[in-house]
């Protein structure tokens, strides 16, 4: 397929031959593909399940990235390159839901070293301010190189001449450069869904220069917050010795040396920045806060079956006066233990009583990574302690659900909850906060929101908290639970307006527009950061 903004990038009829010839000179095996819009993400937007006849079937899968990109992909009908989530040989590419899906296979040892290792035990904790200690293991880095190379090759094979390729997230930071080396004709965007840490933290990674150079293969590097962008620009200066000017990074040809881990010769033609900033390529960096399909959540929340289910949930909970809700992947970045500590203390102190319940949905996540197993134990001990001390027969104060639910059930939970608790210690954005707001059509409800989420930049009318400050968190929970209907409406109205006007389509369009303008314009348009 072949549509949308990508059409604007199509080569002149005579161009393809020239590029194909050039590509052949550099890499005779590199074919040019058919898709003018290609998403490269760690996971495919589907899960493999067993169909009624025993054969494989594909179902849309939950998760932040998928939830955010699915509507964009459906509208653009492009190719999506990702992993199926389990070790083994990949299925052949197939089409579903208007998308061409190309599965990249990982061996069992790559799942261990690349996915569970370098992605989830090195980069994830490092980029979330070392909430737990990152592990630096050289074989994991080798697996990261190898798997990134495989994704880059798959992208190069699918992308049409002059295609736009959008690479996502920390699992694939080397892909932009590896892809550029194979295909200098494509335009490459990269978006970081998780935070980019301060330099003192980033500097710990032994392969910091290779990571920066990998990212700088893109034309545009996008982040959730302005602070992430600043951290990245500083890392470009410090780790790679590059010059930056405003939101631009100059990448001279020489900056793409092999860094001790050769990824092949550089093929990008030398350019001159329009503002005379310097010779070489110019890469833009800016904040593009991601969002949700607000209209789709609004529709779900209006459905009579969903509303009936919300009433059923409140009835099943014993018709409490106040329903608190937390919804997260079971991850140490989400501050679930801080939330439980605050809630438990409020019950201890009698500031909350049996009129309130907390529903804690902690969906299973990364269960083979040690820190996640340990966290699950800690959360379950904390829930057990609160319920043991404050519960009555048939009436526990915390309803803990270590399960995944369909979207309808999530929407019903959002409708059933008077107060939503988002207490992340560090979170790129946090889509759950926006989903809650999008579902509250009657403008009731209150959001307690950690200031360490990207969402806090946009949802300033929430009850903002520092989750490390347990006393402050407790006060905010009580204030949210006792807010006057008028104040609640004022806050919710302003948050709903923001989420409605800055939805996922706005995010994607803003990013892709900015990507079109870099580097020709020489100056990146201000992104939509508030
Ligand atoms: C990363 C960044 C950034 C959760 N459980 C179920 C379920 N979910 C859905 C939520 C929401 C998504 O998963 C989680 O998104 P978050 O943004 O809250 O968090 P991460 O998974 O950590 O996502 C994050 C995001 O990427 C996007 O850039 O915001 O900062 O860490 O949509 O509703 N959905 C269903 N059942 C569940 O049980 N259906």
Atom of ligand 1 minimally distant from the CA of 292: 32
Give the position of tokens 């910091």: 208
Confidence of residue 274 (pLDDT cuts 50, 70, 90): very low
Query: Terminus-to-terminus CA distance in the chain, angstroms?
Result: 34
Ligand 1 within 6 A of CB of 286? no
Ligand 1 within 6 A of CB of 407? yes
- Nearest Cα to 280, choosing from 291, 271, 288? 271
Ligand 1 within 6 A of CB of 330? no
Ligand 1 within 6 A of CB of 47? no
Ligand 1 within 6 A of CB of 290? yes
pLDDT of amino acid 520: 53
Question: What average pLDDT does the segment 165-182 reach?
Answer: 97
CA–centroid distance, 62 to ligand 1, in Å, is 7
Q: Edge-to-edge, what's the strand order for the sheet holding 281-287?
A: 94-96, 99-103, 79-83, 35-43, 159-168, 187-191, 220-223, 281-287, 248-251, 244-245
Residue 353, pLDDT above cutoff 50: yes
Nearest CA to ligand 1 atom 9: 63
Of 100-114, 208-222, 244-258, least confident by mean pLDDT is 244-258
393-432 per-position pLDDT tens digit? 999 999 999 998 999 999 999 999 999 999 999 999 999 9
278-330 per-position pLDDT tens digit? 567 999 999 999 999 999 999 999 999 999 999 999 999 999 999 999 999 99
More confident residue, 324 or 261: 324
Ligand 1 within 6 A of CB of 177? no
Q: Buried b vs exposed e over 350-368: b needs ≥16 C-beta within 10 Å?
A: eebeeebbbbbbbbebbee
Of 25-29, 56-60, 127-131, least confident by mean pLDDT is 25-29
Confidence of residue 70 (pLDDT cuts 50, 70, 90): low
Ligand 1 within 6 A of CB of 404? yes
Question: What average pLDDT does the segment 183-210 reach?
Answer: 97
């Amino acid at each position: 397929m072949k549509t949308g903004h990508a059409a604007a990038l199509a080569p002149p009829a005579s161009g393809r031959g020239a590029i194909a010839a050039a590509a052949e000179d550099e890499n005779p095996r590199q074919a040019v593909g058919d898709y003018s819009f290609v998403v490269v993400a760690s996971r495919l937007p589907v899960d493999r399940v067993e169909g009624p006849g025993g054969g494989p079937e594909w179902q849309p899968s939950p998760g932040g990235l998928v939830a955010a990109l699915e509507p964009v992909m459906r509208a653009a009908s492009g190719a999506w390159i990702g992993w199926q989530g389990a070790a083994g040989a990949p299925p052949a590419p197939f089409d579903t839901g208007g998308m061409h899906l190309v599965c990249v296979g990982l061996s069992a040892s790559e799942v261990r070293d690349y996915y569970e290792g370098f992605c989830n035990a090195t980069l994830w904790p490092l980029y979330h301010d070392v909430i737990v200690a990152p592990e630096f293991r050289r074989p994991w880095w080798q697996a990261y190189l190898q798997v990134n190379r495989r994704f880059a090759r798959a992208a190069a094979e699918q992308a049409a001449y002059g295609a736009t390729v959008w690479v996502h997230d920390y699992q694939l930071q080397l892909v932009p450069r590896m892809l550029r080396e194979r295909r200098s004709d494509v335009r490459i965007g990269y978006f970081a869904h998780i935070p980019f840490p301060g330099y003192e933290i980033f500097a710990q990674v032994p392969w910091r220069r290779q990571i920066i150079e990998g990212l700088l293969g893109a034309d545009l590097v996008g982040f959730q917050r302005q602070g992430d962008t600043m951290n990245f620009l500083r890392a470009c200066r410090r780790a790679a010795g590059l010059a930056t000017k405003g939101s631009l990074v100059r990448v001279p040809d020489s900056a793409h040396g092999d860094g001790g881990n050769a990824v092949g010769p550089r093929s990008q033609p030398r350019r001159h920045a329009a503002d005379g900033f310097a010779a070489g390529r110019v890469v833009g960096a800016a904040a593009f806060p991601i969002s949700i399909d607000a209209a789709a959540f609004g529709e779900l929340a209006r459905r009579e079956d969903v509303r009936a289910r919300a009433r059923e949930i409140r009835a099943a909970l014993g018709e409490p006066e106040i329903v608190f809700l937390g919804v997260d992947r079971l991850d140490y970045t989400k501050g679930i233990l801080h939330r439980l500590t605050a809630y438990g203390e409020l019950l201890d102190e009698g500031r909350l009583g049996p009129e309130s319940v907390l529903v804690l949905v902690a969906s299973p996540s990364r269960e083979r990574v040690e820190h996640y197993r340990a966290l699950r134990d800690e959360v379950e001990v904390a829930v057990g302690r609160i319920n043991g001390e404050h519960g009555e027969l048939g009436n526990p104060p915390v309803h803990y659900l270590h399960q995944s639910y369909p979207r309808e059930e999530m929407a019903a939970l959002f409708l059933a909850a008077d107060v939503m608790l988002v207490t992340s210690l560090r979170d790129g954005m946090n889509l759950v906060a926006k989903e809650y707001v999008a579902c509250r059509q009657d403008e009731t409800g209150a959001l307690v929101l950690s200031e360490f989420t990207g969402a806090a930049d946009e949802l300033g009318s929430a009850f903002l908290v520092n989750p490390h400050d347990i006393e402050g968190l407790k006060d905010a929970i009580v204030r949210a639970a006792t807010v006057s209907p008028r104040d609640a409406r004022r806050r919710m109205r302003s948050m709903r307006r923001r989420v409605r006007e800055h939805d996922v389509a706005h995010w994607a369009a803003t990013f892709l527009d900015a990507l079109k303008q870099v580097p020709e314009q020489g100056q990146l348009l201000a992104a939509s950061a508030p």
